[in-house]
């Protein structure tokens, strides 16, 4: 009987691009969903961007655009990246949608009605310059542990001594947003008394196979052994999110509306397709499966079931939790070039490679998986090109333009054996043990290659009397190939499509693996997948490598550690701004009067997003007023006193805020990527630059 399955992946935060770490989850989920669809189950894949919270508010502010515009831009990038990896959502929405707001209100009313919401005073650090409350992550200062006193530590714990503290305990706390000294402020927050659902959560997490065993153990030992603390679900303005209807000035915390986004996004899909939301979310027949990373375990395994239970929605049938991705055995690193963005990967490599590699490495456990770049190359080349695709490559050509044998020849049980393997392969897929599924498929591929080796069609070809035998051998080879492609089609949809064309029979159902194909016309063979060139992978790493230099802001420019400039510099800058092809003469250059100048004053310009008003001294009483578009990269206070290079004879220009009497030199693309030029020590205001 066909199952009804609703599947989600965690909502990616709309504060950065999709990278290969994210893709572990989306590829894993997409494979599982495609498998379910192939098996004939009714299955939909729902996801959305997670768009609220302080971090996004700050990022948008930094770019000088409204949050809505910021998240829209990110949305488009995410959708494009996912599509590039053949990740096929039935709906990809946003938590910042009317549908989501509506469902949030449904949950909120239910929590209120159940009497679970209470109000408490919360004292938090507040940034008086930026005008926002500061999460721990946004406060830095000196570790309060007397034995440590390490500088530059986050508000929650010290990474030098491991001491945990509250941000208010930090010595010399500083807001990482504005650099201002935070002050303590009190506000009323709304809390959900999740402890009142303790018994339910104990029962739900410990029985019924909803969680992997290690996760159930973890929750029991860590959270359920003591009373659950009240969950703070509101944030005072300013906050980018949804205002709480019965508590003006307060907003739902991003983690309140994010999981609700699963339902909000489903509602969008329902409205579009004429389906009923209750049929999917308030229906015991529907299985809800969440795929998430281990870092967000407690939100999904405690808060979320508690909310669903209270509001009367379906509880998850299963929460599938995966580990993190490491690259070459280490955390992804920008300076090593292993922090690889989806977009960068796609510029050089076929998405099928990564889909297969992840599939081969994934199990149903919570373990981290490692992307070993050398192994990646050898696995794709050996398993996919050498073993699987090679089956078609070495037989299809003998039958080009002809038909497969009219009845399936005797293959001494090979097809039947692989058909029987289908059972174990399907079970492995169902349990998310994709690695096992791949191993079984590859083993069948080995047997098929052995068969072809023994049957030696290349010898049959030479003998005109053996042409029908040749056709039989190739019919067997192509059928064994097709069978494996059907098994692989959740992982490699492109290969499945190509195979469908080759044999004139599109892959659409798992059952096709159980019956040999006969009589079909064989289309001319074209390469289905090419080997991974090592250089391509090297190019990806090279392009991903970034020199970790803090951009112009408060912390100053720290040289990157452990990175030699020769190996670290890419030509990304030149690609973005190619060298000019026209030349100038020395006389042309001499017309520009470049001078060293000292910044006497720097101030913000009311109403201007990008401009700072600078007062520069060329020595003595020679001063100039210059408006510079560097506000997003520099704080006024950091500029006063430093030396810059001024174009002293640039024609004055009237601007909306006053007249600019020159221009200062800087490198970079603009916005926060602005790096002022400065002379080495010893230069004096008024010196000409030659």
Partner RNA sequence: GGGCCCGUAGCUCAGCGGUGAGAGCAGGGGACUCAUAAUCCCUUGGUCGGGGGUUCGAAUCCCUCCGGGCCUACCA
Q: How far is the CB of 448 from RNA (least distance, A)?
A: 8
C-beta neighbour count of 650 within 10 angstroms: 15
4: contact with RNA by CB under 7 A? no
Gap between the Cα atoms of 294 and 320, Å rounded: 9
Q: Give the interface segment with RNA, choosing from 177-185, 266-274, 409-417, 529-537 (CB under 7 A).
A: 529-537
Q: How far is the CB of 206 from RNA (least distance, A)?
A: 13
- Helices 467-488 and 434-455, interaxial angle, to 10°? 170
Q: How far is the CB of 348 from RNA (least distance, A)?
A: 16
Helix H, strand E, coil C: the string for 629-670 is CCCCCCCHHHHCCCEEEEECCCCCEEECCEEECCEECEEEEE
DSSP string across 425-478: HHHHHHTT-HHHHHHHHHHHHHHHHHHHHHH-HHHHTT-GGGHHHHHHHHHHHH
358: contact with RNA by CB under 7 A? no
Q: Which is nearer to RNA, 11 or 626 (CB)?
A: 11
Q: 190: which strand partners?
A: 119
Encoded one letter per residue, x for contact with RNA by CB under 7 A and - for no contact, window 160-189 reads --x-x--x---------------------x
Residue 7 in contact with residue 330, Cβ under 8 Å?
no
> Could you tell me whether strands 286-293 and 318-322 are parallel, antiparallel, or unpaired per DSSP bridges?
parallel
Kind plus residue range of the DSSP H or E element containing 614: strand 612-617
Which residues 206-225 are close enough to bind RNA by CB under 7 A?
A: 213-215, 217-218, 221-223
Q: State CA 221 to chain mean position distance.
A: 30
Which residues 289-328 are close enough to bind RNA by CB under 7 A?
A: 294-299, 302, 324
Which residues 91-110 are close enough to bind RNA by CB under 7 A?
A: none
Q: How far is the CB of 232 from RNA (least distance, A)?
A: 4
Q: How far is the CB of 442 from RNA (least distance, A)?
A: 7
Q: Give the interface segment with RNA, choosing from 99-107, 134-142, 545-553, 634-642 (CB under 7 A).
A: 134-142
Q: Give the interface segment with RNA, choosing from 95-103, 154-162, 281-289, 500-508 (CB under 7 A).
A: 154-162
Long-range contacts of 460-469, Cβ-Cβ distance < 8 Å, separation of 24 or more:
461/398, 468/405
Q: Please state the φ and ψ torsions of residue 395, each to the nearest 5 degrees.
A: -125, -35
Q: How far is the CB of 24 from RNA (least distance, A)?
A: 12
Q: How far is the CB of 625 from RNA (least distance, A)?
A: 41
Interface with RNA (CB under 7 A), residue from 382, 412, 468, 649? 382
Q: Which is nearer to RNA, 2 or 123 (CB)?
A: 123
Residue 290 in contact with residue 211, Cβ under 8 Å?
no
Q: Please state the φ and ψ torsions of residue 542, each to the nearest 5 degrees.
A: -60, -45
Which residues 404-463 are close enough to bind RNA by CB under 7 A?
A: 435-436, 439, 442, 446, 449-450, 452-453, 456-459
Q: How far is the CB of 397 from RNA (least distance, A)?
A: 5
Which residues 360-379 are close enough to bind RNA by CB under 7 A?
A: 361, 363, 365-370, 372, 375, 378-379
261: contact with RNA by CB under 7 A? no
DSSP string across 10-39: PPPBTTS--BHHHHHHHHHHHHHHHHHHHT
Gap between the Cα atoms of 623 and 634, Å rounded: 21
Q: Which is nearer to RNA, 112 or 331 (CB)?
A: 331
End-to-end CA distance of the chain: 82
Q: How far is the CB of 562 from RNA (least distance, A)?
A: 17
Gap between the Cα atoms of 675 and 668, Å rounded: 6
Which residues 227-246 are close enough to bind RNA by CB under 7 A?
A: 228-229, 231-232
Phi-psi region of 162 (alpha: psi -120 to 50; beta: other; left: phi over 0): left
- CA geometry: angle at 270 spanning 273 and 274, to 5°? 40
Interface with RNA (CB under 7 A), residue from 26, 32, 45, 53? 53
Interface with RNA (CB under 7 A), residue from 83, 114, 122, 168? 122
Q: Give the interface segment with RNA, choosing from 104-112, 523-531, 576-584, 654-662 (CB under 7 A).
A: 523-531
Gap between the Cα atoms of 452 and 473, Å rounded: 7
Which residues 459-498 are close enough to bind RNA by CB under 7 A?
A: 459
Q: Which is nearer to RNA, 88 or 433 (CB)?
A: 433
- CA geometry: angle at 159 spanning 634 and 239, to 5°? 50
**Binding residues for RNA, how many (CB under 7 A)?**
87
Q: Give the interface segment with RNA, choosing from 244-252, 358-366, 556-564, 603-611 (CB under 7 A).
A: 358-366
Residue 389 in contact with residue 352, Cβ under 8 Å?
no
Q: How far is the CB of 180 from RNA (least distance, A)?
A: 17
């Amino acid at each position: 009987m066909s199952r009804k399955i609703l599947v989600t992946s965690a909502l990616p935060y709309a504060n950065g691009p999709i990278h290969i770490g994210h893709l572990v989850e989306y590829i894993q989920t997409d494979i599982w969903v495609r498998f379910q669809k192939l098996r004939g189950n009714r299955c939909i894949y729902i996801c959305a961007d997670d768009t609220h919270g302080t971090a996004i508010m700050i990022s948008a502010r930094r770019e000088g655009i409204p949050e809505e515009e910021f998240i829209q831009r990110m949305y488009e990038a995410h959708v494009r990246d996912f599509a590039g990896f053949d990740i096929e959502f039935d709906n990809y929405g946003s938590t910042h949608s009317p549908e989501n707001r509506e469902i949030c209100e449904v949950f909120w009313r239910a929590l209120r009605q159940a009497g679970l919401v209470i109000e408490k005073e919360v004292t938090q650090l507040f940034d008086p310059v930026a005008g926002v409350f500061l999460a721990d992550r946004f406060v830095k200062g000196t570790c309060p542990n007397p034995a440590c006193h390490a500088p530059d530590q986050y508000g929650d714990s010290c990474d030098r001594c491991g001491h945990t503290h509250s941000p208010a305990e930090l010595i010399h706390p500083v807001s990482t947003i504005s650099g201002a000294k935070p002050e303590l402020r009190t506000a009323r927050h709304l809390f959900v008394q999740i402890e009142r659902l303790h018994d339910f959560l104990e029962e739900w997490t410990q029985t019924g196979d909803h969680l992997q065993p290690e996760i159930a153990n973890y929750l029991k030992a860590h959270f359920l052994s003591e009373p659950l603390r009240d969950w703070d679900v509101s944030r005072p303005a300013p906050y980018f999110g949804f205002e709480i209807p019965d508590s003006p000035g307060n907003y739902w915390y991003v983690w309140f509306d994010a999981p609700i986004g699963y339902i909000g996004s489903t509602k969008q899909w329902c409205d579009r397709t004429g389906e009923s939301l209750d049929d999917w979310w308030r229906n015991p027949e529907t299985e809800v499966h969440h795929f998430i990373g281990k870092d967000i375990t407690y939100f999904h395994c405690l808060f979320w079931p508690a909310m669903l239970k209270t509001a009367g929605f379906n509880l998850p049938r299963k929460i599938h939790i995966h580990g993190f991705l490491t690259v070459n055995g280490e955390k992804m690193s920008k300076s090593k070039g292993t922090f690889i963005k989806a977009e960068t990967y796609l510029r050089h490599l076929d998405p099928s490679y990564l889909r297969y590699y992840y599939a081969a490495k994934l199990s149903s456990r919570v373990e981290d998986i490692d992307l070993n770049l050398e192994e990646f190359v050898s696995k794709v080349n050996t398993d996919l090109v050498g073993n699987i695709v090679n089956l078609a490559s070495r037989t299809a050509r003998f039958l080009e333009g002809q038909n497969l044998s009219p009845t399936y020849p005797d293959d001494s049980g090979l097809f039947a054996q692989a058909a029987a393997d289908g059972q174990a392969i399907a079970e492995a897929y169902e349990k998310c043990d994709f690695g096992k599924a791949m191993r079984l498929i590859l083993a069948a591929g080995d047997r098929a290659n052995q068969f072809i080796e023994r049957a030696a069609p290349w010898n049959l070809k030479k003998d005109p009397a053996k042409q029908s035998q040749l056709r039989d051998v190739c019919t067997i080879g192509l059928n064994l190939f097709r069978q494996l492609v059907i098994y692989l089609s959740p992982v490699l949809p492109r290969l499945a499509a190509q195979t469908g064309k080759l044999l004139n029979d599109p892959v659409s159902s798992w059952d096709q693996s159980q019956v040999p194909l006969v009589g079909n016309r064989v289309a001319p063979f074209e390469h289905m997948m090419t080997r991974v060139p090592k250089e391509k992978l090297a190019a990806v790493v090279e392009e991903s490598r970034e020199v970790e230099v803090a951009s112009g802001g408060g912390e100053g420019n720290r040289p990157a550690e452990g990175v030699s400039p020769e190996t670290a510099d890419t030509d990304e800058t030149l690609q973005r701004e190619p060298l000019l092809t026209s030349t100038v003469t020395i006389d042309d250059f001499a017309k520009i009067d470049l001078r060293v100048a000292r910044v006497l004053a720097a101030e913000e310009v009311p109403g201007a997003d990008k401009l700072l008003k600078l007062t520069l001294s060329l020595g003595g009483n020679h001063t100039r007023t210059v408006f510079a578009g560097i506000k997003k990269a520099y704080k006024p206070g950091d500029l006063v006193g430093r030396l810059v290079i001024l174009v002293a004879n640039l024609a004055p220009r009237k601007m909306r805020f006053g007249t600019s009497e020159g221009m200062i030199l800087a490198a970079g693309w603009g916005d926060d990527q602005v790096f002022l030029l400065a002379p080495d020590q010893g230069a004096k205001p008024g010196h000409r630059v030659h």
